[in-house]
Structure 1
Amino acid sequence: MRELAAYDLGDMTAHYWVDDSDQVGLVLRPTSLQPVTARSGIGDEPYIASQPGAGNPPARPVDPLVHVSLRGDAATGGWGQGRTMRWSPSTSRFRLAEHVVEHVGGVPRILTAMRTVEGLRLEHTLIHRAGENHLGVEVEFVNDSPEPVTVDALTSFNFSGISPFDSADSPERLVVHRLRSSWSAEAQPVSDTIESLQLERSWLGIARLSERFGQVGTMPARGWFPFLAVEDKVARVTWGAHLAWAGSWQMEVARLGDDVAISGGLADREFGHWSHTAMPGERLAAPTAILSCTQGTVDDVADRLVAAQNEAADAQPESERSLPIVFNEWCTSWGNPDRERLIAIADRLSGEGVEYLVIDAGWFRGTSPDVSWALAHGDWIPSPDLFPHGLKEVADRIRDRGMTPGLWFEFETVGEDSTAFTLTDHLLQRDGAPFTVGNRRFWDLTDPFAVDYLTTRVVDRLEHDGFGYLKVDYNEHLGLGTDHADGLGEGLRRQVLAGYRFLDGIRDRLPQLVIENCASGGHRLEPSMIGRTAMSSFSDAHEVPEIPLIAGNLLSVMLPRQMQIWSVLHPSDSDQRLVYSLAATFIGRMCLSGDVVGLDETQWDIVRRAIALYQRASPIIRNGRSRRGGVHGPSLRHPTGWQSVTRYVDDGRGLLVVLHTFSKGPGSVQIPLDGSWRIEESLSCGSTSLLVEEGELRIDGLRDFEGVVVRLKPARTGKGESLSMPNRD
């Protein structure tokens, strides 16, 4: 094994290794840390030396940049069947053909091409922009042979050598970090040791070991998030990866020798029923991946991966620069919006700092005015009972009151009470019949008829009626997929790509339209959908006590400036409950809902103060870095303890602290601060008192389920500053 090349990319170094059979692998490390010399073989282990003919098996065989499995080749050995399609003999057919550094638009792209004798080609491109601490990866399979070739597995990324800071097999020092997810309980962190996952190297180094996980369907953040990190606790280095794909995906923590590898990409034939027949001359692109490593924790590497989303966020409409506040009437009408109520809401919000007012589900009706909105969507005909003068009249009234009107669509699916439900020639099929999930079917977005229909019913309405905000919802998914000659998984892949094209087409036609990504809350919170939209619903957790915890968890996978968090307000709320709910929105984007018309003036004054503070804090939310603190119990539904989110603005001129206590919370907390700060303003309730002294913010007088927001600026003196909040009860 020899080093092919090494590149310093920001504060990371990428090492390319090649073995005697021209297989190429990738190892990443922080540039500031030098790797140790690894042993070349494991033959010195006594239980191997005693085996006749065992020799000296390699300790760290090169793990290829790209793993691929081609139909007709032998399957993975070493007891890998059903567990992994990595290490397929197909992969070993590809040999190094080219390794060059290209520059496209001033951005270096490290291209490594592998080729078979038949003319099949794998192209792996590693991308790094100056000033960034993450890497992009693009992988393509190219069929330059004269015959069709069926691909059953293709990785988007793979790197190995974990950990380069141990000379052998790193016992009791490697931890795998992942994010579990379910409806209204997104992104819960899970950490497992390599040993607990049974990924210790087999004694002879011949067992193909893999922890394969992922998601099957078109809700990519349901079950798991496409996020993976491995931490070396001794070297204090963490490696991480994030996939950008809105369909079925998988990731693997894999092991053959002393070192650990991580990989990911499309869910393969075993895991996601996916195959693709590439015709001569065809190129097949795998989903993009983002990689990073750092001398730090899983939170540090997550920050780096999330930073990759800034480029797409910066390309959103200019109106998004100031992080405008949203009011969505879903938790006001619960699927029954009407003209009078919306105008009353607009009157209440006029001049109060809310800039987007969104009409959510139910503005349409099917064959009966009493039918549920979830059965009626698909025809997109406004209800004359709810909107006797049409939607445009209400949208105009919202604009007259200084706000941008928004409208909800779930345009990829149709409800059983719609006429569209019967247009089966243009809907997705499975096993030769319309694919129905519950009461929904799905448009075939590769069908020009479906695209034209949706363009007329969705895009034309947005433009004609003057809506400047589109909420895109998605409340069911495709599971294994839909009919295609190559299998259900390929049908799904093509639908995902067609969905991208439709969204991109909306942006091209209406460039100033603000688009919100929602999928039963947070089920499509991955980079490709987040990047195509201005903001995303963080969850369907509308008014439950765990909202701050969910929002805190999601900091690992998305930018706060794109994370829309609900605060549902009721006249029956105590001041304490109002502040608790409003405070959670400072972890991301403020989204108000509920009966704001019914709030009394004292309650509305709390909301008004929260809005004003949010507007002044928005530069910190937009451009900063977050750290979580606190101690809370294992239950999300019944939270105990407390949580803090401390966010420092990038230029060092601002700091925001968001605190929540839960059941059995402390009466006082101390939150460490980097540097010297003074309190500028705050939002809290009761007899809470605040003090900044000796590098920490102290908050006293706390009760269970208390919310506190504090905005700070650099201190002019070293003396402590305090602020006491009067009891409003």
Structure 2
Amino acid sequence: MKGGRYMQKLRTVVFGDMTIDYYQSAESVEWLLSPTSLHHEVQLPKKTKFDSLIQAKLIGDDYPKGFSTGSTMRNSATVKSLRLVKQIDKQESNKKEIATILADDRGNHYTHYVSWQIGFPVIETYVTFENRTKIPQMLEMLASFSLSNLSPFYDENPIGNLSLIRYQSKWSFEGRKTIQLLEDLQLEPSWKPSGVGLEKFGQVGSMPVRGWFPQAAIYDKQKDITWAVSLAQPGSWQFDAYRLDEDFCLSGGLADRDYGHWLKAVMPGEVFVTPKAYLTVTCGNEASAAQRLTKILTLPLAQKQHPTEEDLAIQFNEFCTSWGRPTEAMTLKNLAALKGKAIQYYVIDAGWYANQHGWERSHGDWQVSSSQFPNGLETVIAAIKQHDLIPGIWFEIETVGDQSVASTFFEHLLNKDGQPLTVGNRRFWNMRDPWVIDYLQERVINFLTYYDIGYLKIDYNENFGIGFDGKESFGEESRLQLLATQAFIKRIQQQLPDLIIENCSSGGHRLEYSMIQLTDLSSFSDAHEAISVPIIAANLHDHLLPRQSLIWAVIRKRDSPQRLFYSLISTFLGRICLSGDINELSKEQWKVIDDCFVFYDHCRPLIKDGTTTVVRSQILSYRKPTGYQIVQRELGDQALLIIHNFDQTMVELPMDFRTILHTCGFECQGIQLQKKKNKWYLSFPSPLMGCAMLIKLR
């Protein structure tokens, strides 16, 4: 290994195909993550100043220089004061952990934890702060992770070599990938290291996937290596892409005092723990790195082992049938239409409680609407079970509609500037109020128990913003509120361990790791009937397991077979969620649906355990896409190809194969497969067509 001026290597640790090097400088401790196969080529970049694996800022310590105050708190005087105390190793049968303890001038301890589940291509990291003084310590920034020495294969990073990959998101447009060279972001060193280059991004409030996913990657083009990280944080967060010299750094965690109004008083003897971050490094691009990150999401699923979830059950959700006004009569009619179909969940979505003001303004009281369900829910729940379906229901537990009685319980709601915090037509429970928890125990958990509900859809349809009144800072109050929400979900699970829980937030606004790990599956988007459904669904393979991604197939009576195949084949990118005009479909339309269900059944093992490769043309518009998309899901010697043509007449398949096992949507749409000069091509008679193939590769 070359380089490393003024840096003394402490140790090297191998975690499977990833290797960690720890270094000690005159100022702090740094770490470096590299592929084990290329570890022998590591060469530290030229450094004029040092970084640290701990990034923190205490009130009373100086802010960093370099024209960065107000933008970043990285490398503050707090960090400059840190000195290594010791490292502690811990090993269990299936897990290894390294704790690196540093201390500041006051005697406070900062511990950087790295743990590795043996056999997994991911490491987990977080940081703790322990107040070892006799007075309160005020934190205004503490990162969950900080990577430095990127890329560690050059004395001087080549121009145009390193890229920052991020994932944009807005309502019904989740997961759009952006790839930018560091030079395009002005993350190139100036002629001397006096001014920091910084690209800061994140989200403020209670919808963590708004604007950006809390996930990023760094790609080294010459070495074909990617570092990737995903932050498990349900509220305000930030990432800092930072460069002063040849040492490019990336850190992230809770949004700090400047970005998210976060300030935390840590009392003597107390320990503060950051959210967890998950990191990986691999030879390959950002897509392969993202696939590695999602492997960690299999661990909580393995602990739950719900039989229907292991089988990737198909569900019917009536929201796009009733649009927020389900009734007893409609439910019974829907059940008659679904009789004998390969569906296992029947979910009654929003509005079963609605008063005259509608579903969005009356939630929170959770009283069954007597006008919509004159015999109560007992009749429809019994009917659902008589059809051998698992009954499901919708709740939005954290908010109340402004026309509900609950919205007048001001002393139990969040307040801002002394007034109930109202966003649109929603107000927010104080989830740390014992009265609220008792209320939700009665209105939610006892309700689920009484009706023997097997599936719970938890939705969340507004953002409380930067924070609200309380003893702590806006940012800390927000953090504690969301931890209390998650504690209530755990309370539900403890009392109802067989309950399946869906994570939804106006579609995909909560598709971050802490909520994904806590629940069984997640709504992928609110793009119910949009042409962009397959594009968004494919995007999300970078962020969660397809087996957890619930994709709408909204069927309309006007739909042609072509449109039906387009919609239903999109759901093979995850889990099928059927909705729409199921009572008004012809036999021919139902045959298309049934055929797609049969094909889905053949593909379940690949959807559940395969790995993904996405091949598509550059898509500028999601509303009016052009080109094509092919998603390959591979497992063993089989591959599932999910193909959507937007405006092409012929599309080349990205691989050769030995045998076609099953097809979906080919003959009846006139899609033809042909081989020319050892390459396979599909010809399409019209735009906006979908088809799928299950093939044997070898």
Report the TM-score when normalising by structure 1. Answer: 0.92
Q: Residue 555 in 1 paired to residue 534 in 2?
A: no
* In 1: Cα distance, 2:481 partner to 2:685 partner: 51
Q: Could you tell me which of 617, 620, 638 is aligned with 2:603?
A: 617
Q: Answer yes or no: is the 8 Å Cα contact 2:208–2:512 preserved in 1.
A: yes
3-state SS in 2 of match to 1:309:
helix
- Residues 1:253 and 1:76: Cα distance change in structure 2 (over 3 Å): same
Match of 1:667 in 2: 649
Match of 1:55 in 2: none
Q: Residue 340 in 1 paired to residue 323 in 2?
A: no
Q: Residue 491 in 1 paired to residue 473 in 2?
A: no
Q: Could you tell me which of 568, 585, 589 is aligned with 1:582?
A: 568
| TM-superposed deviation, 1:695 | 7.2
* In 2: Cα distance, 1:702 partner to 1:217 partner: 47
- Residues 1:626 and 1:702: Cα distance change in structure 2 (over 3 Å): farther
| TM-superposed deviation, 1:690 | 2.9
Match of 2:258 in 1: 270
| TM-superposed deviation, 1:247 | 0.4
Q: Could you tell me which of 527, 548, 553 is aligned with 1:541?
A: 527
Letter aligned with residue 654 of structure 1: Q
- Residues 1:527 and 1:689: Cα distance change in structure 2 (over 3 Å): same
Match of 2:688 in 1: 705
Q: Answer yes or no: is the 8 Å Cα contact 1:666–1:702 preserved in 2.
A: no
| TM-superposed deviation, 1:26 | 1.0
Q: Answer yes or no: is the 8 Å Cα contact 1:184–1:540 preserved in 2.
A: yes
Match of 2:553 in 1: 567
Q: Answer yes or no: is the 8 Å Cα contact 2:45–2:151 preserved in 1.
A: no
Letter aligned with residue 281 of structure 1: G
* In 2: Cα distance, 1:299 partner to 1:655 partner: 18
Q: Answer yes or no: is the 8 Å Cα contact 1:65–1:158 preserved in 2.
A: yes
Q: Residue 635 in 1 paired to residue 621 in 2?
A: yes
3-state SS in 2 of match to 1:251:
strand
| Residue segments in structure 2 that go unaligned for 5+ positions in a row | 1-6
| Deviations, residues 465-501 of structure 1 (Å, cap 9, x unaligned) | 1210000010001110112233111110000110110
| Deviations, residues 302-329 of structure 1 (Å, cap 9, x unaligned) | 1111111111232332320010001100
3-state SS in 1 of match to 2:316:
strand
Letter aligned with residue 564 of structure 1: L
Q: How many residues align?
A: 690
* In 2: Cα distance, 1:213 partner to 1:40 partner: 25
| TM-superposed deviation, 1:393 | 1.9
* In 2: Cα distance, 1:138 partner to 1:305 partner: 16
Q: Answer yes or no: is the 8 Å Cα contact 1:392–1:466 preserved in 2.
A: no
1:468-547 pair list within 5 angstroms: 468-547=454-533
* In 2: Cα distance, 1:197 partner to 1:696 partner: 40
* In 2: Cα distance, 1:543 partner to 1:574 partner: 14
Q: Residue 198 in 1 paired to residue 186 in 2?
A: yes
Instruction: Between 639-648 and 430-439, report the one with greater CA deviation.
Output: 430-439
* In 1: Cα distance, 2:503 partner to 2:129 partner: 30
Q: Answer yes or no: is the 8 Å Cα contact 2:615–2:630 preserved in 1.
A: yes
| TM-superposed deviation, 1:35 | 5.7
Q: Answer yes or no: is the 8 Å Cα contact 1:249–1:267 preserved in 2.
A: yes
Instruction: Between 584-593 and 609-618, report the one with greater CA deviation.
Output: 609-618
* In 2: Cα distance, 1:20 partner to 1:286 partner: 26
1:166-565 pair list within 5 angstroms: 166-316=154-304, 317-366=306-355, 370-565=356-551
* In 1: Cα distance, 2:203 partner to 2:215 partner: 12
Match of 2:3 in 1: none
* In 1: Cα distance, 2:127 partner to 2:676 partner: 52
| TM-superposed deviation, 1:675 | 5.8
Q: Answer yes or no: is the 8 Å Cα contact 1:37–1:167 preserved in 2.
A: no
Letter aligned with residue 614 of structure 1: Y
| TM-superposed deviation, 1:257 | 2.0
Q: Residue 107 in 1 paired to residue 90 in 2?
A: no
Q: Answer yes or no: is the 8 Å Cα contact 1:679–1:692 preserved in 2.
A: no
* In 2: Cα distance, 1:285 partner to 1:104 partner: 22
Q: Answer yes or no: is the 8 Å Cα contact 1:569–1:578 preserved in 2.
A: yes
Letter aligned with residue 326 of structure 2: P
Match of 1:66 in 2: 54
Match of 1:2 in 2: 8
* In 1: Cα distance, 2:34 partner to 2:475 partner: 35
- Residues 1:103 and 1:381: Cα distance change in structure 2 (over 3 Å): same
| TM-superposed deviation, 1:351 | 2.0
Match of 2:21 in 1: 15
Letter aligned with residue 365 of structure 1: A
Instruction: Between 695-704 and 637-646, report the one with greater CA deviation.
Output: 695-704
Q: Could you tell me which of 100, 120, 125 is aligned with 1:137?
A: 125
| TM-superposed deviation, 1:693 | 8.4
| TM-superposed deviation, 1:567 | 0.6
* In 1: Cα distance, 2:58 partner to 2:256 partner: 11
Q: Answer yes or no: is the 8 Å Cα contact 1:351–1:402 preserved in 2.
A: no
Instruction: Between 122-131 and 30-39, report the one with greater CA deviation.
Output: 30-39
Q: Could you tell me which of 26, 29, 36 is aligned with 1:31?
A: 36
* In 2: Cα distance, 1:421 partner to 1:647 partner: 47
* In 1: Cα distance, 2:507 partner to 2:478 partner: 21
Instruction: Between 608-617 and 443-452, report the one with greater CA deviation.
Output: 608-617
- Residues 1:625 and 1:530: Cα distance change in structure 2 (over 3 Å): same
| Deviations, residues 597-639 of structure 1 (Å, cap 9, x unaligned) | 1101010011011111112211110000011112143111111
Q: Could you tell me which of 633, 653, 663 is aligned with 1:647?
A: 633
Q: Could you tell me which of 89, 107, 126 is aligned with 2:77?
A: 89
Name the % identity.
39
* In 1: Cα distance, 2:334 partner to 2:110 partner: 57
- Residues 1:37 and 1:457: Cα distance change in structure 2 (over 3 Å): closer
3-state SS in 2 of match to 1:529:
helix
Letter aligned with residue 556 of structure 1: D
3-state SS in 2 of match to 1:207:
coil
Match of 1:52 in 2: none
Letter aligned with residue 433 of structure 2: D
* In 2: Cα distance, 1:219 partner to 1:40 partner: 37
- Residues 1:429 and 1:20: Cα distance change in structure 2 (over 3 Å): same
3-state SS in 2 of match to 1:566:
strand
| TM-superposed deviation, 1:211 | 0.8
| Deviations, residues 636-676 of structure 1 (Å, cap 9, x unaligned) | 11111110111012xx14321100111xx222222123764
| Deviations, residues 337-372 of structure 1 (Å, cap 9, x unaligned) | 001111111122122110001001110123xxx312
Q: Answer yes or no: is the 8 Å Cα contact 2:45–2:152 preserved in 1.
A: no
| TM-superposed deviation, 1:206 | 2.7
* In 1: Cα distance, 2:455 partner to 2:151 partner: 47
- Residues 1:381 and 1:560: Cα distance change in structure 2 (over 3 Å): same
3-state SS in 2 of match to 1:32:
helix
| TM-superposed deviation, 1:451 | 0.6
3-state SS in 2 of match to 1:300:
helix
| TM-superposed deviation, 1:14 | 0.7
- Residues 1:173 and 1:632: Cα distance change in structure 2 (over 3 Å): closer
* In 1: Cα distance, 2:449 partner to 2:219 partner: 49
Match of 2:641 in 1: 657
Q: Answer yes or no: is the 8 Å Cα contact 2:44–2:149 preserved in 1.
A: no
